[in-house]
Amino acid sequence: MPYLRIRWRIFSFLFGFGFLAYVQQKSITVAAERIMPELGLTQLQIALLEQAFVIGYAAFQLPGGVFGQRLGARSAFTVIGLLAFIAMMAMAVGPSILQGHAAFFGLFAAQLGLGVAQGAIFPISAGVFSAWFPPRRWAFVQGLQTMALQLGAAITPPLVVTLMAIVGWQRALVWITLPALAVIGGWAWYARNTPAEHAGVTPGELTEIGDHHGSRVDTAIGARQLLRVLGNRDVLLLGASYLAMNYVFYLLSNWVFLYLVQERRFSALEGGWLATGPPLAAAVGAGLGGIVTGFTCARLGPCWGHRLVPLIALPTAGALLLAAVYSLNPYGAVFALALCYLTIELTEAAYWSSAMTVGGSDTMTVSGFMNTGGNLGGIVGIPIVGYLSERHDWHAAFFLGVAFALTSAAAWMGIRSAAPPRASRVEVDATAAAYGPPCEPLSDSANRA
């Protein structure tokens, strides 16, 4: 049975890394309610702590992908997992040692370190999926991992709030961090960089995975090859499209609670519970997007198979943002925002699977570049939405979201999801047999299917 295959055990570790990463990321925002009065910090200082994470996270996407590619996923995940663990423990323990401004700067350094450590998680994950799974499964596993992120985001507020009420915010951070040691230790012991290196992988499973253009990792990538990869049209357009899409993502993931309280006049308690709806809907969308994208790629080939979901989902997300703005019923606005988040997350599998198709043996580097664009969407979007929302101009923030969603969709018309030029003929043919031929007109793809 497929679920007994070694590759699915490897996947379970990556699911765990992604889930725990989002729990760690979101915990400081929830704990801020206790941190501010206990340490005498302002809301602006809390915002600076969050920005420290985003800066470290965005800055280390591309270097993290290159780092993982050169070192190998087994060692790289062990290193960055331990660094993230140390950063979380520093946030929990540091304020007991440091006082005043030193405590704030200690938290700032820890958040920056956490961002740097986690910046490589998803580029390296993409490389692991590329090596361990046949191309027809890439969209599916990417969708499942994205689901893990949203489940982590959804569970963090009630988990951290409950633990803070029992043991305080510092011990709460310790308790949510400790499970990471089990995942890191299990990965370091069990994982291998490629299926061929793992003693438990049978010849039958190696045949199932196949000799496609992502089955090898280029560990010798240098500056010249890096420039060649970053000059690829598909790589550049994926980065630009992902940047535009992530304005909408950050609008939904970071600002829904304040929108419901400030604009829709919900109480803080009611708004808090209602704000859990969008990330849960997003988790459903991520999993569904993986299934649908895998199906469309099998039927239409990688080019239109990857394009189709974003071309439909992104304009739909823009329409749902307008529906939320103009809804007379506040609960109708919540429903529209949840559907919008679901729709946005439908596209994640297409982005990451396309990056794997384009990247091949350089998947970690290509994914790191694309996710740099995604995080720039947050770096650009967060201050814009903050500025507009402070002036109670939520409509303008949402209208910008519509424009970014349409721009992101338009970029997909130029993305071919073509195999990298360095892929051998044997690898390309094996990939095409499992995943469909390169880009062709939609009518021809439909006729072939």
Whole-model pTM over 0.85: no
Convert the pLDDT of each residue in 416-437 to its tens digit: 887 665 554 445 555 555 555 5
Domain locations in the chain as residue ranges: 1-195, 221-436
Convert the pLDDT of each residue in 363-401 to its tens digit: 888 999 999 988 888 788 877 877 787 777 888 888 999
Neighbours of 384 (CB within 10 A): 15
Q: What is the mean pLDDT of residues 234-256?
A: 88
Q: Kindly indicate the confidence band of residue 50, based on its pLDDT and cuts at 50, 70 and 90.
A: confident
Q: What is the mean pLDDT of residues 61-85?
A: 92
Relative orientation angle of helices 363-390 and 121-132, to the nearest 10 degrees: 140
Average pLDDT score, the chain: 84
Tell how far CA 207 is from the center of its chain. 30
Convert the pLDDT of each residue in 307-363 to its tens digit: 999 999 999 999 999 998 888 888 888 888 889 999 999 999 999 999 988 888 788
Instruction: State how far the alpha carbon of 50 is from the alpha carbons of 24, 93, 350, in Å.
Output: 12, 18, 28
CATH of domain 1-195: 1.20.1250.20
CATH number for the 221-436 domain, one of 2.40.110.10, 1.20.1250.20, 3.30.565.60, 3.30.70.270? 1.20.1250.20
Q: Kindly indicate the confidence band of residue 231, based on its pLDDT and cuts at 50, 70 and 90.
A: confident
pLDDT, residue 209, reads 87
Do 221-436 and 1-195 have the same topology in CATH?
yes
Q: Kindly indicate the confidence band of residue 254, based on its pLDDT and cuts at 50, 70 and 90.
A: confident
- The CA distance from 445 to 437, in Å, is 9
Contact by Cβ (8 Å): 309, 293: yes
> Does residue 98 register a pLDDT over 90?
no
Three-state DSSP at 168 gives coil
Instruction: State how far the alpha carbon of 170 is from the alpha carbons of 23, 28, 164, 194, 273, in Å.
Output: 15, 10, 8, 39, 24
pLDDT, residue 3, reads 46
